Every structure is written in C-alpha cells, then in structure tokens.
Chain A
Amino acid sequence: MTLIVVETTVERPFTAEGLQDADRRVMPCLEARDAKWRYSLLSSDWQRMICTFEAPDAESVRESYRKGGVEFSKIWVAQIIAPEGGSPVWNEPFLKVFEGTYLGGFSDEQWQEANRLILPCYAQLNVEWIRSYMSFNRTRIVCELNAPDAEVIRESHRKFGIPFDRVWSAQLLKP
C-alpha cells in the first residue's frame, strides 16, 4: 500500500454537511479500490484540508474524488519522516500544520541541516515535531506539529531562512 496525501483549498469554507456528503460520495469508491482513509487535518478557517490515505496508487484516490465530484487541489504519493525515538501524540488544541514547496527538491543533506538548526529552537519554544510527509520527488513537505501558536513556527523558520508556504492551526478528523 502507498501513502497518499490529498490537499484541498476551497474559496467557500467547507461545512459539516458538505464534508459528510463528500464522505458518502467518495468512500464507497475508495473502498472498492482497496483504499483506506487514515485521517485528515482541517484548517481553523475551514478552507484548507489535508487528507491522508493508504491506497494501491494515487490514481485510485484521484478517481474516487473525481467520480464523487469532490474537489481537490493536489494528490501525491508521500513518505513519512518521523522523529527518532517515535512520534509524540497529537495534542489536538495545539495541533499545527507546516507546508513547504521546494522546486529543486529538498535533498537529504538539506533536510538534516534544517533539522539540526530548527529542532533545538522548537524545543525552546515548546514546539513538538510529530511527523512530516514528503513527496517522492522531495518537492513538497507537510509537517504536523504541536505548538502554542502558528507564529512561533513561522518565526523559527524565518530565523533560519527555511522558506514555507503556510502554517496553520488544524483540527483532526479521524475515521
């Protein structure tokens, strides 16, 4: 099984009914294709959502979304990178999401270097790195963090010159 990340940004915020409806339309097709929803992260303004799936391939998830008429912005195959010694648990009231795009690809060396710089800073600011999803071409990174607020994450990255697209507060949706 492959780990699949689905990113969606909408102009009009999602609604609870809309999400339930999307669920109803997508899930049967996903099940038929042997795909399984793991969990989703929904932004506090209800306009951004990142969902993760286990599926035979990314196309199975794309087709299920398309067939159900459910919007998405990007679907990609991911690998998980987690802290050594295991991930801390989600602390839902403090859950944050960090997103970055790196057109040239984030090399392993760059990743090690970034971690060397940012993790001590995180520790000082009471930020816990839970895990990250990196696309197979290493151009896209989504990190889950427990942090007092989003701004401390932004500041830390600016401080070390690590670019990012956005950082947001998230709520967790699970099956």
Chain B
Amino acid sequence: MSSTLQIHLFNQFSVSHNDRPVTSINTARSQALLSYLVLHRHTPQPRQRIAFRLWPNATDTQARASLRKELSYLRRDLPDADQFLLIDAKTLQWSPTAPFSLDVIDFEEAVREAEAMPRSARTHLEQAVTLYRGDLLPDCEDEWIVPERERLQQMQIRALEHLTNLLKDQQDYRTAIGYAQQLLRIDPLNEATYTSLMQLHGLSGDRANALQVYHRCMTTLREELGVAPSTATRKLYEQLLVEDEDIPALQPAQLRSAPNLVLAAPKLASTPLVGRQREWALIQQWADSASVATDATTTDATTTDATTEVLLLVGEPGIGKTRLLEELRDTMQMARRVLWGRGFAAEMMRPYGIWIDALRSTTLASTVPLPPEIGFLLPESSQPATTRPDLLEAGLRERGHLFDAVVNLFAGWANQAPLVVILDDLQWIDEASSALLHYAIRLLGHLPVLFACTGRSQELAENVAVSQVVQALRREQRLRLIEVPPLNREETAELMSSVQAVQAVQSLVPVLSQDDIERVFIDSGGNPLFVLEVARARSHTPFAHAETLEALIGDRLQHLSHAAREFLPWAAALGRSFKPTMVAQVVDYPLPQLLTVIEQLERQMIIRPGASLEDKQSYDFAHDIVRQVVYQQLSEPRRRLVHLQIAHKLHQLSTQFPSDQPFSDQNFSDQPCLGNSLAGDIAHHVAHHASLAGDHRLAASSALTAAERCLKLLAYTEATKLAQQGIHHCPLLDVRTRIRVHLGLLRVCAIAGVKSDRVAQLEADTHRLMSEASQWGLKDEEAVGLETLGILHFNQNNFVSVHQHSLQAVEMSRVASPATAARLLAYSGSCLAEIGRDMVRAEALLLEAQSLAGRVGLELCDIYSGLGSVYAHNGRYAEARTLLHQAWQMSRIEQDHWREFTFLSYLAMIELEVNDPAAAVPYCHEMATVAAKIKGEGSEAKVAEAVEALAHYTVQPTSPDADLERAIVTLQQVDAKRMLSYVLIGAAEVDLQREQPALAILRAETALQSAQIIHHPSEIALAWAIAIQAAIAAGESARAITQFEELRDQIERPALSQRAKTAVDQMLQQIQKFKDPKI
C-alpha cells in the first residue's frame, strides 16, 4: 500500500506522513526547497534556477553547493523521498503523481468547483476559505514566493467576496458578516468591503455595528491613505444615523419578533495595538487554558473538575487596558457571543449599571428564553414585571432570584456558543453589580463563559465591594492578573510613528527625530494615551511639549470648531456614554448641525461610537480622561447651569408619564430622546444632576425615588448612599417638603439596613421628624415614621417594640430588607448544602447571605452550618468544624433543638470522615440527648443511634455488628435514605478494609440504591466506587466492570465531595487493571 504525505503551506509550513508529523524538515531552507518543488511540480526545474532563487545573494558555485547539501538533507528527512523527488543531474521535480496532498491544491480545486457548479457554490467556497488558513508561507521572505502568495491571496479575496454576496442573497447575514470581516482582515483598505459590511449589519438589524464599521472605514482610510470615505459610503452612514423607520430594506425580517430589543455593540479599536506582545501572549494563554478547562469538564466529567480563571488587566489610566480588551473582543467575536459593559465614575449608585449595559450590548433575540426577572433590569426586553404581578407587588423576594435569572440566561447562551463577558473599568461599579459578578463567576465556572475585566489598580482597592471579589478570586486561585506596564522606548517610538505616518502623509508634521522620541518617552512615561496626545499635539504645534496629559488634551480641544466646543460640555456633564439625539433635546440643538459636530469630533478622536439603545446610536468619549478635561474646563457657575438644565429636562420627560406607573415599566421607546435604557433609572440621573446643580428640592425628591427603585432591586448599598445624598439636601427645603422627603429617606435607610450603632441616631431623627409632622398635621408622613420605627425594631429582632399598628406595614416592607433577604438566602443556601447537590450555588447563596447579614450585624446559624457543610464537602474539614461548632452554639442559645441536633450530626460525620471515630462518639451522645427534646415523632433518636453504631463499628474492628445491623434496619423502617446510604457506605468502607468484600458489596450496593432514589451525587459516587472496589477485591472483575460501565457516564466529578472524588480516583486506578488503559 502506498504511503501518503500531507503538506500544508498556508499560514505555516507543516508536513505529516501517514498522519504523523514530520519534524525533521525544520530549517527555513529545507522548507523553502520542498515548497518550491511542490509548488512547481508540473515541470522539471533546472538546478541552476532553483539555486539562484533560493540563494540569490550567493555566487553560482556557492548556491549550487548549498542546493546539493539541502537536497541531501531533504532526501534523508523526507519519508519515502525517492517516491516524491525526481532527481537527475540537471533538474529536480516533485513527482505530480506521487501520493501526496497539498492544501494549496485543495484550495484551488474548491474555488474552481465553486465556479463550475453554482448550485453547490456555497459548500465549495466555504471549504476553500477554510482551507486558506493564512497567507502562503508568511515567514518565507524569498522573492520567488511573493507572486504566488499574492495570486492565492487574490483568489481568497474573490472567494470571500463571492461567498459574502451569495450569503447576502440567501439572507444569511450573520454568516456573511463573518466572511466580510475576514475579508477586511486581508484587505483593510477595501472601501467596498466596508460598505458591504455596513449593509449587512443594517440588514441584520444591527445598526450600531453598521455605524461602527463606518467609523473604522473612516479611520483606516484616513490613516493609511489620507483620504475620506467616498460620498456613497458617507450617504449610507448618514442614512443609518438619522433614520428610524423609513429604511425598509434594512428591516431585519428575522428580528421582527422582538423589535424593541436593544441592539448594541462594543466600541471600536481605533488605534493600532503597539507592543504588548507579552501581555497579549498572556491573554491568549489565559483564553487557551480557559477553553481547555471548559472542554475538559464537558468531555470528561468523571475525572475533571477544572474551572475557568477570570482575567483582570490592571494599570494606570490611559495605559491601554481597554485597547487590549478590544483586541480580545475582535479575536473572539467570530465564534463567541461577546457582552461588553463598562463602569462609569458618575454611576456608582446606579444598581447593576454595568450588567444592564452588558446585557444591552448583545442581541437578546435568541432561542434562549429570557427569565421574567430580567425585566427588572431590562424593561425593554418584553419581560416586564407586569407579566409577574406577584413579583411586581412584592419586589424580588431575594437577590438570589435576580442573580439566578442572569446566570441562567448566560448558561443558556453558553450552551449555544461560548460566551465572553467583558467588563471595563471595574473600579467604578456599584456594590450590587459586584455581588452579581462574584455570583456569576462562581456559578458559571464550569461552563464556557469567560470573564475579562479591567481596573485601575489604586481605585480598585478603594472600591470595597470589588476588591472583596478580587480577593476571593485570588484566594480561590481563579484570578489571572496581568499588570499592563508602560510602553518602552521602542514601543513609544512605534506608536508615535504609526500616528505620525498619517500626519506626514498629510504634511502636517516634520519627520520624527530620535530627540523627539526621547522627549515624548520621558514626558509620557510610556503611557500610550499620553503618547497619542503628544503625537496629535504635534500636528498643531510641531515642537509641542507639555507637562501633563490633561494639558495636551486641553490644547487639542482649543482647535475644535466653535460648534463642537459648545456641544462637548453637555456630553461631558452627562457623565457616561450619550446619545446625540438626547443631547440635542436637552440643549435644543438642531439635529443636522449636531451630525456635523459629531463627525468632526469622531475625526478628531474625541468621541467614538459606543452602544446603541433602541436603535439610537450612542457615543462615548475616546477616553474618560478626555471627558474629565472637557468637564474641568467648565467654570463652576456654568457647570451648575449645565447640570441644572439636564436635571430639569430629564425630570420633565419623566413626569410625562402617569405617576402611579413605575419608571421601570414605562415605555419611553417613542420618546425622541429617551429610550428604555434611561427610563428605569432616570430618577438616579435626575438626582445626580440636580445635586450637582444645587437644586436641593429636585435632588432630594429624585434621590428618594431612585433609592426606592434600588430597594426594589435589592441594591441596598446604593439605596443607602442615595438616601444619604438626599438627606444632605433636606435642611434646605421648605418645611413640609423636608418632613415628607426626609422621613421617606429615613425609611429607605431602615429598610436597606443599618448596624446597631446607627439605629439610635436613626430612631432619634425619625422621632424628631414625626413630632414635627404631628405639629403640622401631616398624618401620612407620621405614618411613614411609624413604619420606619417598626422596620428598625423588626430588623433588630426587637419584636416587642414593633408597634401593633405598623406590623402589617413591616411585613410588607421586610420583603426588601437585607435582614429578610439574608434569612431567605441563608435558608435556600443551607437547604442546598444539606442535600449535597449544587454546592457551588449553595456557597454562592450563603456568601451573599453573609454579606447582606453583615450589613445589619445579623448572625444566622444557617449561614455557618451551610458554609460548614460546603467546606466539609470540599474536604476543608478544619474550617468546616469551626463553622459547624459556631452554628451548634448559636442553635443551643436559640433553643432550636432540631438545628442543634443536625449540626451535631454534621460534626460527628466530619470526625468519621477524618478517620477519628472516637471523636464522633461524644457528639452522638449529645445528639441522643437533644433528640429527646424534639417534639413530634421524628427520626432523630434513630439517626443518633445509627451514627454511634457506625462510629463503634469503625473504631473497634473486632466488635460484633449487631448494633449496626439493628440501626440499619431502623433507618430502613423510618425511611431515612440519606442517612441509610451514609451509614452503609461507612460500614462498607470498613468491611473492605477488613477484607470482607462480600459484605462490602452488599452494603455498598444497598447504599447505591438509596442514594440514587434521593439523587445524592456524592453518595452515589461513593457507593459506586466502593462497590466496584469490593467486587475487585472479591475477584469478581466482570461484576466490577459491569458496575463501572453502568454509571460511569452519570458521575459528574465537579458535583462530588472531596471524599467521593478520592474514592472515585482510587477506584479508577484499580479498574484500569481490568479495562482498556485509556480509561
């Protein structure tokens, strides 16, 4: 039989023979020789010609000698070389009839077939573009290869163009976009491709991306060729920017089912990525290892429990963290769904702000149904709270529901395609967002969901909530931290050159000298943003030298047109990304004029397209420092006026809707300036601007509205901060307004939770205001005060002090209090921990409960016991013992005998698991004592006897097992399967050690039956592993293998306890002796 040789020349040289790589052809010249011959296989090639082309700088004699040498190497290293090489004294030829395959031949063949067979053109073209994995031998610098490389590249371009048009005709826009993007990567100066891509995005209903493509087109053409886009491209852009409904051709048929869903897109990389090889390599390493981790968990659940790491890029402002994330996004978005959210300094009190933005950055029209709770975050998602009146009335009963909804949504997406969640500027996110981040990271660790974040080192540490998440991830070894350092001198020069090249084309600046570079490097300290600003400054002042980045930006702003300078302060004052239409409305600016300004600012790299909300394009400043500089240039009085106008305009818009309708439910989508994006949290924005404007009345009342909304979303920290901000304005209000608003804000504080040291002050303030309300005859306000007192006492567990009349109000309010939320979460989390299922979620819920309980200084034994169970599950016995001991002590004080009993049983089980049965016995005695105090005909006394019998059975190898057998029968009678399987497993382990395999098999198999009925993953695995080991010990290998095969696919290693994992590993080692070694 003939052997076969596979040769790949696209992207990288590689040869394999009979599917085994041939690594011996590893020098550049050997590879070039083989490639030359194979690419010129149709005719014999004169030796002299080959020698000249491969060694062009050598003398004729030297070149021929080199060829002889390389040819001898090739004959030595190439398997069956004589089959492939036809050699004579004057010529060499690759045998065209030899059994070999070449990717270049396959590629050309596929293109030809596509042309010849139009009906199957798509299949052949897709095959062709897949085969073209990259340019022909990109590392080969020989001249002879250039024409061939270009020829093949042109073929690939034509194939991609053909395929894009074909897919467009077939209305498969999403796939077409992918190929058009591929086309742009090969030929970034092809304006027709940009136009095509804009049209495709438009046709698929993604106007935001369509506009961004224009921006990229404009930037690239300007930087590379010094020209602007053509009129046709500009027209298309303007059409996309201004038109809402009247572009019938651009209405996506497939998205009509969800016409109001927000489509958005991340920002566009507008500057080249200079340097950063180390950081980029680390990021790729991170992405690769994350993929390996998730692949491992999905392909071999029995033996792998890897989790993904979270990427965190840290560094100073302007250092290029975001730029690296943009590069990451561009690399990943072909094959993955990418979500992009960003923190804003002005929005640290906007609950879940970064998550709302991230969710809005992707199309929600998918096959994954949206959980109703998402409606609380995204009212526009067609999942309004009105579809769940129970939720609307009560608010979310616990934060876990909202978190679970987000996690389930992500998990659903991840099951369709890998998901990347990019969160920029973490230092500015709110507490609620931090909690959700930690929750999501924990629960999605085994799924193909990657989290990539950035943060400013110093400010990250100042954000307590975020820094706790970072610390926890570090502790759990789930953090891949990459410090982004300043550029070095060479990289600074490269970045300068890339910008200067464009300006040089435009004759704007003199060519860079070494001195220039040195000065910029010293001035900027290698900060890329600074370097870019210096480069831009040189276009105005060739010898510009500035002390600070801010000064450079300030100078640049001075060169803008009057209209642009008038526009910018409004955008900067908004404090986040902005929609031009919104600014136009706020400042009564004509839209056509605005478009001219926007384009100028885009060209000057002051602003960039950002997300799109409700089909309305939004923009963001190129960097937050630019926003800060614009804002700082405003004089104090003007700044106040700007904020005042924004506050009043937003307030006016919000009041156009019925007052009894919550903001989150109002449909702002018809408003020219407000999409649903702002509807939900408009009060927060009004409060922010009114506060900065010094409009105390509006600031205080809006703070109250915003704080109440935070309570509905269980965002307690943000509610408290807003309430305190509102209270700050209260002394300056008229008496009646002051009493009403202040009491309302105190009520928010009480619900959001305060620790005992602040309760007295809060009570005193409430009493004082109630007294004033009484004097002024304000009955409703007085009732609010009464309710506040009730809430305070309720949260402090001081039920006697809860006023009878306010009991009902307290019951209503406590739905949203952190104390109640903590109790509910602790209850759910400990419940999950007890049944040994979904321990990751149990831990996440319990940690969230712990965090909320900490707000009000609440101690809950369920949190300690639940976490204790989680740690015991993970084999962290010392920590588990401490926590369970604490839980036990608390339940003793509370006289909660069942909990007391349960925690004692956990403590006893820990001692048994760490092989110290003697230490378990005293706990068993205490269990029996406590069991006698529990009302109702329960199983506790029997459980105590069973655990003690197991302890004795374990500790005394020679003791008869009558007690144990009796205990097992009793557990069967009371139908306590979990405890039955636990005791049987423990006994079976002892039997195995005592070389009584038959008894061990019997007990382990009975345990397995019980564990399967109650779906306890760890006990199933334990019983299974021990039964197999016992069968092996009994010499019943066939039984062992049958047992192994029966359940191997059902065992999911990540769900198992440490004890079960150890048992499974031991069993796997033993079973390998009988099975295929691949197991």
Interface residues of A (CB under 8 A from B): 2, 25, 28-29, 32-34, 56-60, 62-63, 66-67, 69, 71-75, 77, 137
Contacts and interface: CB of A to CB of B under 8 A. Distances in A.
Interface string B969-1012: 00001111111000000000000000000000000000000100
Contact of B1013 (A28, A56, A67): A56
A57 B1014 CA distance: 7
Contact of B977 (A25, A59, A69): A59
Interface stretch (B259-267, B273-281, B826-834): B826-834
A56 B1015 contact: yes
B898 interface: yes
Contact of B936 (A28, A71, A77): A71
8 contacts: A32-B828, A32-B831, A57-B975, A59-B978, A62-B939, A66-B898, A67-B834, A73-B937
B976 A66 contact: no
Contacts of A32: 828, 831-832, 835, 837
Contacts of B834: 63, 67
B976 A56 contact: no
B976 A59 contact: yes
B25 to A, nearest CB: 61
B827 A58 contact: no
Given A32-B835, A33-B1014, A34-B1015, A58 B976 contact: yes
A56 B975 CA distance: 9
Contacts of A58: 939, 974-976
A32 B973 CA distance: 23
Contacts of B837: 32
Given A28-B828, A59-B977, 17 more contacts: A28-B827, A29-B827, A32-B828, A32-B837, A33-B835, A56-B1014, A56-B1015, A59-B976, A60-B978, A66-B902, A67-B898, A71-B935, A71-B936, A73-B937, A74-B937, A77-B975, A137-B973
> Which size bracket describes the interface of B in this complex?
20 to 34
A66 B835 contact: no
A29 B977 contact: no
Interface string B546-581: 000000000000000000000000000000000000
Q: Which of B831, B939, B973, B1015 has the most CB of A within 10 A?
A: B831
Contacts of A28: 827-828, 831
A46 B934 CA distance: 23
B837 to A, nearest CB: 8
A51 to B, nearest CB: 13
Contacts of A73: 936-937
A32 B841 CA distance: 12
B662 interface: no
Contacts of A71: 935-936
A165 to B, nearest CB: 14
B777 interface: no
Interface in B800-847: 827-828, 830-832, 834-835, 837
Nearest to A1: B1013
A85 B832 CA distance: 42
Nearest to A17: B811
B963 to A, nearest CB: 20
A59 B975 contact: yes
Contacts of A56: 977, 1013-1015
A69 B934 CA distance: 11
Name the prevailing secondary structure of the A interface residues. Answer: mixed
Interface string B226-244: 0000000000000000000
A26 B974 CA distance: 20
Nearest to B1010: A57
Contacts of B896: 69
B272 interface: no
B46 interface: no
Contacts of B936: 71-74
B21 interface: no
A28 B896 CA distance: 20
B938 interface: yes
Nearest to B979: A59
Contacts of B975: 2, 57-59, 77
Nearest to A66: B898
A99 to B, nearest CB: 15
A7 B710 CA distance: 44
A88 B975 CA distance: 30
A62 B942 CA distance: 13
Contacts of A63: 834
Nearest to A63: B834
Contacts of B934: 66
Contact of B939 (A29, A33, A59, A137): A59
A25 B1015 CA distance: 22
A66 B834 CA distance: 13
B899 to A, nearest CB: 8
Contacts of B977: 56-57, 59
B1014 A60 contact: yes
A61 B1013 CA distance: 14
A75 B978 CA distance: 16
B1057 to A, nearest CB: 17
**Which 8 residue pairs of A and B lie closest in terms of their CB atoms, listed nearest first?**
A59-B976, A58-B975, A57-B977, A66-B898, A56-B1014, A74-B937, A57-B975, A56-B1013
Contacts of B935: 71
Given A66-B898, A71-B935, A73-B937, A57 B976 contact: yes
Contacts of A66: 898, 902, 934, 938
B937 A75 contact: yes
A60 B1010 CA distance: 12
Contact of A29 (B831, B973, B978, B979): B831
B1007 to A, nearest CB: 13
Given A66-B938, A73-B936, A73-B937, A57 B1013 contact: yes
Given A56-B977, A58-B974, A67 B831 contact: yes
A66 B936 CA distance: 10
Contacts of A72: 936
A19 to B, nearest CB: 16
A37 B375 CA distance: 30
Contacts of B830: 67
B983 to A, nearest CB: 13
A5 to B, nearest CB: 12
B337 to A, nearest CB: 31
A58 B898 CA distance: 16
A60 B1013 CA distance: 11
Contacts of B939: 58-59, 62
Nearest to A65: B936
B404 to A, nearest CB: 13
B898 A57 contact: no
A32 B975 CA distance: 18
Contacts of A67: 827, 830-831, 834, 898
Contacts of A34: 1014-1015
A59 B1010 CA distance: 12
Contacts of A29: 827, 831
Contacts of A57: 975-978, 1010, 1013-1014
A137 B975 CA distance: 12
Contacts of A60: 978, 1014
Nearest to A30: B831
Contacts of A33: 835, 1014
B469 to A, nearest CB: 27
A16 B373 CA distance: 29
A25 B826 CA distance: 12
Q: Which of A63, A73, A74 has the most CB of B within 10 A?
A: A63
A47 B827 CA distance: 28
A56 B835 CA distance: 12
A29 B979 CA distance: 17
A87 B276 CA distance: 78
A59 B974 contact: yes
A58 B980 CA distance: 12
Nearest to A74: B937
A56 B836 CA distance: 15
Interface string B867-897: 0000000000000000000000000000010
